[in-house]
A and B are shown apart, each in its own frame.
Chain A
Amino acid sequence: MPDRFDLPVDIGLIALGLLILFTALSVVVLSLTWLERKFLGRLQRRLGPTRTGPMGLLQPVADALKLVLKEDLIPAWADRTVFWVAPLIVLVPSFMIWVTIPAANNLVLRNLDMGLFYIVAFSVVTILGLVLAGWGSANKYGTLGGLRSAAQLISYEIPVIMVVISVAMLAQSLDLREISNFQYPGVQSSPQESGFTNIPYAVIMPLGLVIFLIAGLAELGRTPFDIYFAESEIVGGPFVEYSGAHWSVFFLAEYMNTFAIAALTALLFLGGWHGPFLPDWIWFLIKAYFVVLLIFWVRGTFPRLRIDQLMAFAWQVMVPLSFVNIVIVAIYLFYGWPWWAASLLSLACTMVIGYLVYKHMSRPAARVAEVYRRQQQANLKRKLEVGGR
């Protein structure tokens, strides 16, 4: 911050910065939509878009044009004010959190000491927009979706915050720039005495990474947690009555959030923009896009959970696990263990819990398949005996 507050110049600079940021984010969103179509297509043995430009590269442009040119319908019974304002309430926080997310050491609009706190605080506002969108469109599916989104996003906010706290404990800072600097040797000495902590936090606490990714998926409302706009049940939830430009605002916010979660994963766990040989911002993009691809991959693989299962998973698995994660980090910090001890403990925890959840979920089906297999074997044996006679 400058010492004196030169109003017109500062406002001009801030506006310019926001404009540049918004443009950059829009480009990222366009690239994400193209990437999602192409990547999902390849997962599903399709080609994805091919007709618009080389490799369908202009598909996002075509999509954007279509959305803007479409008629913007407002239902007759809708609460017009709420209906108009809701997309903005979703978009603005999604954009605002990007103000403090650094793409490289100095490539950030305004770095805050309280960066993480600011991000967590702002990202919650999105819920309000979704509930309002559902309520304002005077549609029963929309209302259901809005209420679902409130339940889901608030529940999964807790594990996210808990993991963020454990990262802050490790780094002794809420400053995103410092947090990623601590994760690469030779940049900035870490707050702990032992010199071994200059490694990505994903190595120190894999459990935290897993929780953050899963809860992040739920925060984004992406498969398997796309419950509040479940297309096959409530036909788009809060967005059911939106069309054209209004709908595209939600769309923009969704992809901005997706990239924000990916960027945060990169910054908090994967060592930020640090890496050998390549420029910083390229490393940042590589890591963030890698996480984005992971999110798309999950989308191509999993069905959707039910709302009660989602809530049970949040409160019975994710929240306790995030506390376990904090306890592990606290023990590691308090007793000054070597990093690999915490790492092993965390990894063991992840694998044991993961295995238990997997067993619990797949047991009932495995039983039926086993019975059928035995039946088939018995049939085969009987036929062989009959044939032998």
Chain B
Amino acid sequence: MVEANVQDINADGEALEMMVNMGPQHPSTHGVFRMQLWLDGEKVNRVVPHIGYLHRGSEKLCEGEQYHQVITLFDRLDYISNFNNELVFCRAVEKIMGLEVPERAEYVRVILCELNRVASHLLFVGTFGLDIGAMTPVMLTFRGRERAQALFEAISGARMMHNYFRVGGIKEDLPDNFETMVREVLDLLREDAEEADRLLTYNEVFIARSKGVGVIDADTAMEYGLTGPCLRGCGISYDVRVAEPYSVYDRFDFDVPVGLDGDCWDRYYVRIQEIYQSLSIIEQALRQMSPGPISAMGRRLIRPPKGDVYVRSENPRGEIGVYLVSDGSDKPYRVKVRPPSFCNLSALEELLKNTWVADAVVILGSLDIVLGEVDR
């Protein structure tokens, strides 16, 4: 795969290609991702992505922990959308145990997951702007994201690694002023998103940099296993929340935004529109929510029956899947995660063929990877 002996200069002293290491210490690789680029002037000839700098053996660690301890490990996979990760693992265990989660817990989960989706997409909008060179959107969107994080802290006690969802429900009931808090934050989040939207989306330079860059057609995208906004940007309306509704997602009325051309701008646009859709889902959930029990688990010790199960759900970055094998003990026998970032990243080599150096950063940014999830 990697040709080790590529020379910068051939026998006649003519420059061939310049190899440039982008990352793992580079401001725009979103973590410790490393791209090895072979450049011909400003053009990228080839790229070899290197991952694994953040490998912590999460899947193996899961096998040594009890079920409720595994949730904390899932927090640390995609550390930008923790609630969504917790949800997918909890759902896997609930499915293998045949647990029916109380309605209130489902609504709380949906609200928190959607808020997390908004926070995650806001982060994307800001950092994508930074990748392209706009310095203002990141200030606006980070403020919105911080507001969401502060709300999470008020509810779960932690800004990022919440450990709030439990198998069969949630850890504890919400604070009394939850609804007013969420409504307040909702308005502010909408304001922040609109502000960044107005500033960036139709900015001519922004369009020039992202439209028609990193184009991938729908068939190739599906072959690579792209999911989430990266796939919807190609015009395919596939969203696990709609295709295979889980939790209480079938009770809400929302659109699945899709792009047209499958380029960076469309992927960005899909995410911006998803923010508005998520905010509308949260509003509907707040209206439908009613008091009630918050957990179906009577006992603390979780011993699922023998068997295996695959559960998937829609993360902000795409479809996350968990394959869980239980041997009947209080620890999972095997946990396999299908992380959306990892699958989306697989298309990078294809996307970066014959692009410009500057586009490499933009395309990588538009895939919106989280290295904690890629390397696990």
Contact = CB atoms under 8 A, between A and B. Distances in A.
Interface string B136-180: 100110010000000000000000000000000000000000000
Interface in A339-389: 357-358, 361-362, 364-369, 371-372, 375-376, 379, 383
Given A306-B358, A306-B359, A232 B27 contact: yes
Contact of B131 (A226, A232, A375, A379): A232
Interface in A8-49: 40, 43-46
Question: Interface size class for chain A?
Answer: 35 or more
Contacts of A210: none
A379 B133 CA distance: 36
Given A307-B356, A365-B207, A45 B139 contact: yes
Given A46-B139, A367-B260, A223 B133 contact: yes
A230 B358 contact: yes
B209 A305 contact: yes
Interface stretch (B80-88, B114-122, B198-206): B198-206
B140 A307 contact: no
B258 interface: yes
Interface string B195-234: 0000111111111110110000000000000000000000
Contacts of A140: 18, 20
A25 B11 CA distance: 51
Contacts of B321: none
A300 B134 CA distance: 7
B361 interface: yes
Nearest to A143: B18
Question: Interface size class for chain B?
Answer: 35 or more
A323 B184 CA distance: 56
B205 A305 contact: yes
Contact of B361 (A232, A301, A366): A232
A302 B140 contact: no
Contact of B133 (A141, A235, A304): A304
A304 B209 contact: yes
B12 interface: no
A235 B39 CA distance: 16
B275 to A, nearest CB: 14
Given A140-B18, A233-B28, A303 B209 contact: yes
A368 to B, nearest CB: 5
**Which residue of B143, B258, B260, B266 has the most chain A CB atoms within 10 A of its CB atom?**
B260
Contact of B260 (A302, A308, A368, A379): A368
Interface in B315-360: 356-360
B358 A368 contact: no
A307 B39 CA distance: 14
B260 A230 contact: no
Interface string B243-286: 00000000001010111110001100100010000000000000
Contacts of A233: 28, 357-358, 360-361
Interface string A164-187: 000000000000000000000000
A146 to B, nearest CB: 13
A82 interface: no
A67 interface: no
A232 to B, nearest CB: 4
A249 interface: no
B255 A379 contact: yes
Contacts of B204: 357-358, 361-362
A365 B202 contact: yes
A226 B133 CA distance: 9
A230 B132 CA distance: 9
B61 interface: no
Contacts of B257: 372
B368 to A, nearest CB: 15
A366 B255 CA distance: 20
B187 interface: no
Contacts of A302: 133-134, 203, 205
A283 to B, nearest CB: 31
Interface in A215-236: 223-224, 226-227, 230-235
Contacts of A141: 20
Contact of A304 (B205, B259, B260, B356): B205
A144 interface: yes
A293 to B, nearest CB: 15
A299 interface: yes
A308 B356 contact: yes
A224 B253 CA distance: 41
Contacts of B206: 303
B372 interface: no
28 contacts: A45-B139, A45-B143, A226-B133, A230-B133, A232-B28, A232-B361, A233-B28, A233-B357, A233-B358, A233-B361, A300-B136, A301-B134, A303-B134, A304-B358, A305-B205, A305-B209, A306-B358, A309-B208, A361-B207, A362-B202, A364-B207, A364-B211, A365-B207, A368-B259, A372-B258, A372-B269, A375-B258, A376-B255
Would you list the 6 A-B pairs with minimal beta carbon distance, nearest first?
Answer: A304-B133, A44-B139, A361-B204, A303-B134, A303-B132, A232-B28
Given A148-B42, A304-B132, A365-B269, 6 more contacts: A44-B136, A233-B358, A302-B205, A365-B202, A369-B202, A375-B258
